């Protein structure tokens, strides 16, 4: 069985606050939120990071972003604004090696990033 914590969330072996699920994507609330709305969107199929994406994943990545926009609207943050982030490897601070899109919003954020 996979040791990946996000795979375990997708299968229900680790509890989460799931806000969306379809055949390709699961979205759940971050356990340590960095903003009033902080949702993680993950493909149901394990992919380590952006570095592991192939041409076959283009539709999936587009779908992840599309669902993020729908969830932003559902959370009431679409008009105010939100940020989508995918951290990749050490310099970006990736800690869970199952690709995930952070949806952050609900209060003004500082700019620039980093």
Q: What residue ranges bind ligand AMP (CB under 6 A)? A: 5, 14, 16, 28, 30-32, 40, 87, 93-96
- Catalytic residue at 100? yes
Separation CA 76–CA 74 (nearest Å): 5
Nearer to ligand AMP, 37 or 94 (CB): 94
Q: 86, 112 in Cβ contact below 8 A?
A: no
Nearer to ligand AMP, 60 or 96 (CB): 96
11 secondary structure, DSSP code:
H
Catalytic residue among 46, 98, 100, 102: 100
Q: 20, 27 in Cβ contact below 8 A?
A: yes
Separation CA 82–CA 16 (nearest Å): 22
Nearer to ligand AMP, 55 or 90 (CB): 90
List the structure tokens of 16: 């989460």
**Residues with catalytic roles:** 100
């Amino acid at each position: 069985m996979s040791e990946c914590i996000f795979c375990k969330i997708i299968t229900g072996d680790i509890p989460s606050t799931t806000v969306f699920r379809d055949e390709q994507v699961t979205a759940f609330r971050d356990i340590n939120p960095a903003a009033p709305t902080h949702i993680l969107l993950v493909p149901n199929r394990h992919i380590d990071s952006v570095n592991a994406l192939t041409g076959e994943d283009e539709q999936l990545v587009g779908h992840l972003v599309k669902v993020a926009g729908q969830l932003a609207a559902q959370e009431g943050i679409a008009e105010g604004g939100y940020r989508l982030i995918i951290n990749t490897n050490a310099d970006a601070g990736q800690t869970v090696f199952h690709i995930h899109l952070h949806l952050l919003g609900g209060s003004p954020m500082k700019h620039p990033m980093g």
